[in-house]
Amino acid sequence: CSGSRSIPSGLHHKSLSERGSDKCLNVSVLDLSNNYLDNLPAGLFRDMSNLTRLTLHNNSLTGMDRDLFQGLGSLQNLDLSLNGLSTVPLGLLDEVQGLRWLSLAGNRLHGLERAAFEPLANLQHLELGQNPWECDCNLRDFKHWMEWLLYRGGCLVDAVECTLPKDLRGRDIRGVPVEMFNYCLQLEDENGAGGGGASRSGTGGGPGSPPWEEAPGDCVRARYRPVSVRRAIGTVVIAGVVCGIVCIMMVAAAAYGCIYASLMAKYQRELKKRQPLMGDGEADGEEREEKQISSVA
């Protein structure tokens, strides 16, 4: 089992445990896809420290022990697609922080906890499609983590289409405005008041801290911008341009009004100056007529 090779399909997990401690310690690629594996014991891959790729595609896994991947510090590619997983337990991915490619597509995932995925600082590709996602408060913090992942750059995440609620069915949760989750804060406040300040699900901060302040390391330095924030910035820019154009038009109208008023005032002054001269001419004409009448008489 030395070097890079693929374990043949059909290998039972019990035989893997027995052989792994003897012959397969140096294997770098392990393919257990297309089997009927429904349970894998904790620490099964503990002695395979050189493993870089593990494929558990198309099995019957419905749950995993949080210590299943213990000792796989070199793992870079993990395929858990087409199983029956309904959750990813906290701590499961703590031992595989160097993971670059992860697939959870085609499972029964309704929601995920952000804290379970925060150790994956080097993740480059994430597949989450074909799951019955419920886009409610339980998925809000994971949505924030995905948006931070995309904002950081260099990571590809496929569509996370909502199944519930009905008004969001078929929509990618990344395109759902963050304001639609504001009611979650109200629910948390109510639950905190009634339950003595219960901790938030899937987060590591205090009950009032925003999601980006709960993430360690790079999450604090590289604050993400949700889709709704980017749209709001675009709206502000457009509104500013429109207001600027309106202001320029108002200034131009005011300048035109001032120029017109000054021209009219000048015209009125000149008109007033001409009126006395016209009056003197009329008086001279009357005196001449009187003289002509007197001379005739």
Query: pLDDT tens, 111-121?
Result: 899 999 989 98
Question: Residue 188: pLDDT above 70?
Answer: no
pTM over 0.85: no
| Separation CA 215–CA 152 (nearest Å) | 13
**Contact (Cβ atoms closer than 8 angstroms) between residue 102 and residue 123:** yes
**Contact (Cβ atoms closer than 8 angstroms) between residue 43 and residue 19:** no
pLDDT at position 262: 87
Question: How far out from the chain centre does Cα 291 lie?
Answer: 102
| Separation CA 234–CA 78 (nearest Å) | 38
pLDDT at position 280: 58
Identify the residue with better confidence: 291 or 115: 115
pLDDT band at 165 (very low <50, low <70, confident <90, very high): confident
Average pLDDT estimate for 219-241: 62
Identify the residue with better confidence: 255 or 138: 255
pLDDT at position 228: 52
Identify the residue with better confidence: 150 or 131: 131
- Paired strand residues for 134: 164
Reported as a single tens digit per residue, the pLDDT across 44-96 is 898 888 999 999 999 999 999 999 999 998 999 999 999 999 999 999 999 99
Reported as a single tens digit per residue, the pLDDT across 11-20 is 444 444 444 4
Identify the residue with better confidence: 139 or 76: 76
Question: Residue 288: pLDDT above 50?
Answer: yes
**Contact (Cβ atoms closer than 8 angstroms) between residue 7 and residue 20:** no
**Contact (Cβ atoms closer than 8 angstroms) between residue 109 and residue 89:** no
- Beta strand 77-79 with 101-103 is parallel
Q: Which of 91, 125, 130, 132 is nearest to 111 (CA)?
A: 132
Element (H, E) at 29: strand 29-31
Element (H, E) at 134: strand 133-134
Q: Count of residues for the chain?
A: 297
Question: Residue 97: pLDDT above 80?
Answer: yes
Q: Which of 132, 128, 129 is nearest to 116 (CA)?
A: 128
Average pLDDT estimate for 26-39: 91
One-letter amino acid at 57 equals H
**Contact (Cβ atoms closer than 8 angstroms) between residue 133 and residue 109:** yes
Show the DSSP H helices in the chain as ranges: 13-20, 114-117, 140-152, 182-195, 218-221, 227-296
